[in-house]
Amino acid sequence: MTTVTEYDLWDQPVHREEEWCVFHDESIPNKRWLLIGLLFVREKDVEEAKRVLRQARQNENYEGEIHFSALPKSFGGQYGAKARVARSWLEAYQDHLCERVFFSCLAVDRHSPKYKSEHFPKDFHAYNRFTAMALKAGIAWHLVPRNLNCVVIHFVSDKKDRQTRPDEGWQDNFEQYLPYRAGRDVFSAQVEGRNYPLVKKFRVELRDSKSEDLLQLTDLLLGAMQEALVSGSSRATKQELGKMVLRWCEDIRKKPREQQYALHRKFNVWAFPDEQGRPYNNVRFALDANPNQLRLFEA
């Protein structure tokens, strides 16, 4: 494996290891798209990130669950408190949380001629496989530049989502499959000589999003990304948050030095598969950040 070895003052190799929490959510806005969202937070930064989110709640005196799908129509009035907290969370992410919290979204195009639906006899087979793919890409994009020798992954997914999976005698193997794939991905990287950290330990936890703000932030970022991609809501709140994320998406396509929000390797969106069956970054969005222009989504 190609790595850059660092040495200390005594000419001894430096061993770099970090523990990361990865919060997971998924969304299916229509028959075409499956979206996987992953939020990467170093274990040592989790409490500080939660503190920022709690402060936004306290500012609005709102303690309810934040779900993008359940946002009200307006930011105003008593019933708009949920939407105002959601907007504050995205503003906090844009302004400073992105230094500690990285977000990656994989958009799977199930209408692509290269999408192999026959490989997934049950829906959860696709969910699990593409979650593993998103995790591998997220580690490569967000963590590899940190020149780590190994990582410990604490993968947190919404318990409610997992409970809805098994049906007709099929058992969702999510909790066993992800660690297995993570191990295979390390082996593949070693064989191919790519820079990729050893996954020293991989733990999957199912947690109720109702009591986990970082799962709710993952849901919010993924929902806003969904709105940018398909423009499926007429609600002003959802459109505004979708436009915020759309501006980030357009900004990260610029050279890092030219970016307004400095989100390079902190925020990422990519899709799979293209016409050659490969990943691609030039995702087309239905939503337009300029409300005076009409942009058509290319199916």
> DSSP characters for 226-295?
HHHHH-----HHHHHHHHHHHHHHHHTTS-GGG-SS--TTTEEEEEE--TTS--BS----S--SSTTS--
Confidence class for position 294, pLDDT limits 50, 70, 90:
very low
Highest mean pLDDT: which range of 152-166, 186-200, 206-220: 206-220
- Least confident among 97-101, 132-136, 194-198, 260-264: 194-198
| Predicted confidence (pLDDT) per residue in 116-147, tens digit | 999 998 888 999 999 999 999 999 999 999 99
- pTM of the predicted structure, to 2 decimals: 0.90
pLDDT at 57: 98
To 10 degrees, the CA torsion angle through 138, 143, 145, 151?
-140
* Mean pLDDT (whole number) for 180-203: 92
In what helix (H) or strand (E) does residue 131 lie, and over which residues does it extend?
Answer: helix 123-138
> How far apart are alpha carbons 18 and 133 in whole angstroms?
21
pLDDT of 277 strictly over 80: yes
pLDDT at 41: 98
| Predicted confidence (pLDDT) per residue in 71-127, tens digit | 999 999 999 999 999 999 999 999 999 999 999 999 999 999 999 999 998 888 999
- Quick one: angle between helices 236-251 and 81-95, nearest 10? 10
